[in-house]
């Protein structure tokens, strides 16, 4: 099976390049190719003496782009938050309640009969009478018996809570009121007594919300009086929270902006480094052109020029592909097939965005690496559209159709 003409053309160009400059075979990147030739008993010329190094001005090394780390922007000064509250609250009515015991509840699983409900009502009357006489502990016990008779009565829990308020046991009152609200959320009394209990504990914001709800459900003079009593402190607390919430949000916004700034700087730094590595040498692919590892130029076809074929920056001869009659010293007679006068511009090949993009495809890069190590495998990729498209693109860079300007001196196809 014969190889496609374009692949043969590229392979012939490489062979002619090796003939013109045998020192290419001693490049470390072409060691595999030299060993293969030796295994075929090929006669390889001795390594010529290194020619005098050209002045750096002729083949300038890529200037390393300084990557100075930008000075970090000053961190936004966070407003110091005092551990002590800057609120001035009226705490004269606040009490200390160390009683952590839960009040006694009834069994909600029992079926409440009418007799049990009547008994609970009778006990409620007894408890209210005991409370009026100042017998608060006795009143609590009677209310507890009533609750056991009718554990689903929200009113009984609220009444017992009112006695706990008088006994300065706001924590138990809060438990009873919360239970009553769970049984009947539309009752105003549990909100009123719980709001009062919160007030006693200095929880003015919670007290304000409960007392507001109590007045909304069923206006009561005592609830309204309590609401007006807790409102000043509640407003101060809520404004205090809003102020620090605004500060917290401002700090988060500043921190987010700082993260974005650092991310942008890092992106620009990496972009600058990537740009520097891609343009470090005129026309060279970073790391060598797949299939033709760079031996002399920085990342281009093997050679001594900047990213080009061997010679002074291009094919042997006058630094490029000589065209008809150019007669470059040691160049191809008549130029590369199809190349116009002066040959192709290697920088236009190696900097072509479509070619660069094609070689970023791992499949294409692997294919050309395989071809570089095993030229006979070129036939494997003749039906690969990606590889063929890249070969056609590269071939078009070498000139138009065959015979356009090749002349008699063009290598035979």
How many Cβ atoms sit within 10 Å of the Cβ of residue 69? 7
Domain range spanning residue 22? 5-32
Q: What are phi and psi of 289, to 5 degrees?
A: -75, 120
281 is written with which tokens? 């040498």
In a domain, 160, yes or no: yes
Q: Are residues 119 and 14 both part of a single domain?
A: no
Residues of the chain with pLDDT > 90, as a percent, come to: 27
Q: What confidence tens digit (pLDDT) does each residue in 264-323 have?
A: 888 888 888 887 765 544 444 444 444 444 333 333 344 333 333 333 333 333 333 333
364 is written with which tokens? 């294409």
How many Cβ atoms sit within 10 Å of the Cβ of residue 61? 10
CA–CA dist 167, 364 (Å, integer) = 87
Q: Are residues 130 and 26 both part of a single domain?
A: no
The CATH number of the domain where 118 resides is what?
1.25.40.10
Collect all residues with Cβ–Cβ distance below 8 Å to 41 and sequence separation of at least 6. none
In terms of Cβ atoms closer than 10 Å to its own Cβ (0-12, 13-18, 19+), residue 400 is exposed
Q: Are residues 21 and 137 both part of a single domain?
A: no
Question: 3-state SS of the chain: helix, strand, coil percent to 5?
Answer: 55, 0, 45
pLDDT value at position 48?
66
Q: Are residues 234 and 132 both part of a single domain?
A: yes
Domain stop point among 238, 267, 302 = 238
Q: Are residues 120 and 233 both part of a single domain?
A: yes
CA–CA dist 258, 241 (Å, integer) = 25
CB 293 within 8 A of CB 87: no
pLDDT value at position 240?
84
Q: In this structure, is the dihedral angle defined by the CA atoms of residues 214, 216, 222 and 226, taken in order, positive or negative?
A: positive
Q: Are residues 227 and 119 both part of a single domain?
A: yes
Q: What confidence tens digit (pLDDT) does each residue in 22-68 have?
A: 777 777 877 887 788 778 777 777 776 655 555 544 555 555 554 44
Which of 308, 399, 276 minimizes the C-alpha distance to 24?
A: 308
In a domain, 132, yes or no: yes
In a domain, 300, yes or no: no
Q: Are residues 11 and 121 both part of a single domain?
A: no
Structural domain total, the chain:
3
The CATH number of the domain where 355 resides is what?
1.10.260.100
pLDDT value at position 278?
57
Rounded average pLDDT over 381-401: 76
Cα–Cα distances (Å) from 320 to 6, 59, 173, 346, 371, in that order, read 20, 15, 98, 8, 25
In a domain, 213, yes or no: yes
Q: Is the pTM of this model over 0.75?
A: no
In a domain, 286, yes or no: no
Collect all residues with Cβ–Cβ distance below 8 Å to 402 and sequence separation of at least 6. 337, 338, 413
In a domain, 41, yes or no: no
Alpha-carbon radius of gyration of the chain: 46
Asked which of 78-92, 163-177, 257-271 is least confident by mean pLDDT, the reply is 78-92
In terms of Cβ atoms closer than 10 Å to its own Cβ (0-12, 13-18, 19+), residue 161 is buried
CA–CA dist 39, 78 (Å, integer) = 73
Asked which of 31-35, 102-106, 196-200, 207-211 is least confident by mean pLDDT, the reply is 31-35
More confident residue, 214 or 355: 214
Asked which of 70-84, 165-179, 392-406 is least confident by mean pLDDT, the reply is 70-84
CA–CA dist 117, 114 (Å, integer) = 5
CB 194 within 8 A of CB 174: yes
Q: Are residues 118 and 234 both part of a single domain?
A: yes
Of the ranges 2-11, 156-165, 262-271, 292-301, the best mean pLDDT one? 156-165
Q: What confidence tens digit (pLDDT) does each residue in 294-306 have?
A: 333 333 344 333 3
Reported as a pLDDT band with limits 50, 70 and 90, residue 213 is very high
Domain stop point among 198, 220, 238 = 238
Over 60: is that where the pLDDT of 170 sits?
yes
Looking at every residue in the chain, the average pLDDT score rounds to: 73
3-class DSSP state of 289: strand
Cα–Cα distances (Å) from 95 to 76, 90, 137, 228, 254, in that order, read 42, 13, 19, 19, 42
Domain stop point among 238, 262, 284 = 238
pLDDT value at position 64?
53
CA–CA dist 158, 391 (Å, integer) = 89
In a domain, 373, yes or no: yes
CB 262 within 8 A of CB 269: no
Q: Are residues 14 and 125 both part of a single domain?
A: no
pLDDT value at position 89?
72
pLDDT value at position 291?
43
In a domain, 200, yes or no: yes
pLDDT value at position 319?
37
């Amino acid at each position: 099976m014969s190889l496609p003409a374009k692949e043969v053309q590229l392979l012939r160009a490489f062979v002619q390049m090796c003939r013109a400059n045998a020192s290419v075979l001693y490049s470390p990147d072409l060691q595999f190719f030299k060993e293969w030739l030796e295994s075929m008993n090929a006669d390889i010329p001795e390594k010529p003496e290194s020619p005098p190094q050209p002045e750096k001005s002729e083949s300038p090394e890529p200037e390393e782009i300084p990557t100075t780390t930008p000075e970090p922007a000053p961190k936004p000064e966070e407003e110091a938050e005092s551990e002590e509250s800057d609120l001035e609250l009226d705490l004269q009515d606040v009490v200390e309640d160390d009683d952590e015991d839960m009040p006694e509840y009834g069994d909600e699983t029992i079926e409440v009969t009418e007799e049990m409900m009547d008994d609970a009502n009778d006990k409620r009357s007894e408890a209210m009478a005991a409370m009026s006489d100042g017998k608060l502990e006795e009143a609590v016990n009677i209310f507890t018996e009533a609750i056991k008779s009718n554990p689903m009565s929200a009113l009984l829990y609220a009444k017992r809570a009112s006695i706990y308020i008088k006994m300065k046991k706001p924590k138990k009152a809060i438990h009873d009121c919360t239970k009553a609200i769970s049984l009947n959320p539309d009752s105003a009394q549990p909100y009123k007594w719980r709001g009062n209990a919160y007030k006693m504990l200095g929880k003015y914001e919670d007290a304000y919300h409960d007392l507001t709800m109590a007045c909304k459900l069923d206006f009561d003079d005592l609830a309204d009086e309590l609401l007006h009593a807790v409102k000043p402190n509640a407003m101060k607390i809520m404004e205090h929270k809003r102020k620090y919430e605004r500060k917290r949000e401002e700090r988060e916004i500043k921190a987010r902006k700082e993260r974005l700034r650092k991310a942008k700087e890092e992106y620009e730094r990496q972009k600058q480094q990537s740009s520097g590595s891609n343009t470090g040498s005129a026309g060279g692919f970073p790391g060598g052109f797949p299939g033709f590892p760079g031996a002399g130029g920085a990342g281009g076809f093997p050679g001594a020029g900047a990213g080009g074929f061997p010679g002074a920056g291009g094919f042997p001869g006058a630094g490029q592909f000589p065209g008809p009659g150019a007669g470059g010293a040691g160049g191809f007679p008549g130029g590369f097939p199809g190349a116009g006068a002066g040959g192709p511009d290697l920088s236009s090949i190696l900097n072509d965005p479509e070619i660069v993009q094609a070689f970023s495809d791992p499949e294409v890069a692997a294919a050309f690496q395989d071809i570089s190590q095993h030229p006979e495998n070129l036939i494997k990729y003749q039906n690969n559209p990606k590889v063929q498209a890249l070969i056609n693109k590269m071939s078009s860079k070498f000139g138009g159709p065959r015979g356009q300007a090749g002349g008699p001196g063009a290598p035979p196809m």
